[in-house]
């Protein structure tokens, strides 16, 4: 059976994580949260004290190649994520770890090290792949590609709510500044910058509800079979 791949790329807070999860459930497909892989590598590099300048590239590359990661899908409770056997499910969602992720994400050889791990998620009957370069680099032949965006203010507001729901105290100004720094780093890097694939459906979700976007995406994906 061939594997149908749906890619969803976009900046953080665009709603792509939530929508990717809903699409994976709707179609009964596997799910790749590629941001989690970069977050895990960023956290592992930080824990090994490898984020200090000047960067020790060989040590970072060794770390990326030997990263011990487990995604444990749990009924109704999302996915538990283990790094070297430790549960880091909540820890990797913090802004600090997001920033660590975007630091390692600018290094070409580290992206290369994560490339095959990401491709391995494509298994029958299909995959929903969420990230920054899913449609442009990792799955360039995917039949359905989506680029989801929203204004920086709308995205920061959503992130604050998400963090507050997790019991984390979050201030909108700090979140907005952090998000803009991360967007800039993701969009301006030379390797796999964040941008829509030339053949992607581009949607601005600033003033749309999740259900409105979901319906548009399902109509689009169904037309791509
Ligand atoms: O999507 P998420 O916010 O979890 O991603 C964290 C960081 O990982 C991003 O800001 C980006 O720097 C990096 N990333 C990437 N390519 C991907 C997914 C994430 O560079 N496919």
Q: What is the ipTM of this complex?
A: 0.99
State whether the beta carbon of 133 lies less than 6 angstroms from ligand 1. yes
What is the average per-residue pLDDT within 65-89? 91
| Choice from 11, 13, 93, 101 to test ligand 1 binding pocket (greatest atom count within 8 A of CB) | 101
Which residues, other chains included, contact 84 with Cβ-Cβ below 8 Å and sequence gap of 6+? Answer: 44, 68
Ligand 1 pocket check for 136: Cβ under 6 Å: no
Cis? peptide before 59, omega within 30° of 0: no
Is the confidence at residue 76, as pLDDT, over 80? no
Judged against a pLDDT cut of 60, whether residue 223 lies above it is answered with yes
> For residue 38, which atom of ligand 1 is closest to its CA?
8
Cα separation, 200 vs 223, in Å, equals 13
Quick one: how far is CA 134 from the chain centroid? 9
pLDDT confidence of residue 1? 56
In the predicted model, what is the mean pLDDT of the chain? 94
Exposed, middle or buried: residue 75 (CB in 10 Å: 0-12, 13-18, 19+)? exposed
Give the CATH number of domain 4-217: 3.40.50.300
Q: Is 85 one of the annotated binding-site residues?
A: no
Which residue's CA lies nearest to atom 10 of ligand 1? Answer: 102
Q: 131: annotated binding-site residue?
A: no
Where exactly are the structural domains of the chain? 4-217
pLDDT digit string, tens, across residues 165-191 = 888 888 999 999 988 998 999 999 999
pLDDT in tens, 104-128: 999 999 999 999 999 999 999 999 9
| Per-residue pLDDT at 70 | 95
What is the number of the ligand 1 atom nearest to the C-alpha of 42?
8
- Reported as a single tens digit per residue, the pLDDT across 8-58 is 999 988 999 999 999 999 999 999 999 999 999 999 999 999 999 999 999
In the chain, what is the straight-line distance between the N-terminal and C-terminal CA atoms, in Å?
14
CB of 32 within 6 A of ligand 1: the answer is no
Residue of 170, 78, 69, 179 whose CA lies nearest to 113: 69
- Compute, in angstroms, the gap from residue 104 CA to the centroid of ligand 1: 10
Distance CA 193, CA 3 (A): 26
Q: pLDDT tens digit string along 124-171?
A: 999 999 999 999 999 999 999 999 999 999 999 998 998 888 888 889
pTM: 0.93
pLDDT at 78: 81
Question: DSSP secondary structure string, 160-219?
Answer: HHHHHHTT----HHHHHHHHHHHHHHHHH-SSS-S---TTPEEEE-TT--HHHHHHHHHH
Is the Cβ atom of 38 under 6 angstroms away from ligand 1?
yes
Our answer on whether the CB atom of 30 is closer than 6 Å to any ligand 1 atom is: no
- pLDDT bin (cut points 50, 70, 90) of residue 2 is confident
Q: Name the percent of the chain lying above pLDDT 70.
A: 99
């Amino acid at each position: 059976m061939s594997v149908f791949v749906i890619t969803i790329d976009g900046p953080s807070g665009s709603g792509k994580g939530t929508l990717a999860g809903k699409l994976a459930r709707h179609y009964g497909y596997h799910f790749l949260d590629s941001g989690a892989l970069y977050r895990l590598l960023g956290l592992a590099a930080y824990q090994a004290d490898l984020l200090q300048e000047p960067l020790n590239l060989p040590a970072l590359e060794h770390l990326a190649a030997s990263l011990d990661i487990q995604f444990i899908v749990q009924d109704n409770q999302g996915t538990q994520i283990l790094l070297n056997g430790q549960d880091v499910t909540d820890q990797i969602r913090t802004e600090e770890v997001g920033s660590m992720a975007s630091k390692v994400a600018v290094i070409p050889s580290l992206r290369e090290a994560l490339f095959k791990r990401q491709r391995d998620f494509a298994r029958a009957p299909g995959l929903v792949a969420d990230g920054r370069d899913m449609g442009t680099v990792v799955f360039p032949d995917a039949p359905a590609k989506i680029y989801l965006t929203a204004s920086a203010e709308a995205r920061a507001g959503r992130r604050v709510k998400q963090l507050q729901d997790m019991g984390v105290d979050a201030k909108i100004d700090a979140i907005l500044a952090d998000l803009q720094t991360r967007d800039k780093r993701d969009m301006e890097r030379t390797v796999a910058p964040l941008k829509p694939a030339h053949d992607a459906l581009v949607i601005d979700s600033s003033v749309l509800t999740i259900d409105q976007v979901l319906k548009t995406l399902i109509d689009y994906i169904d037309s791509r079979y």
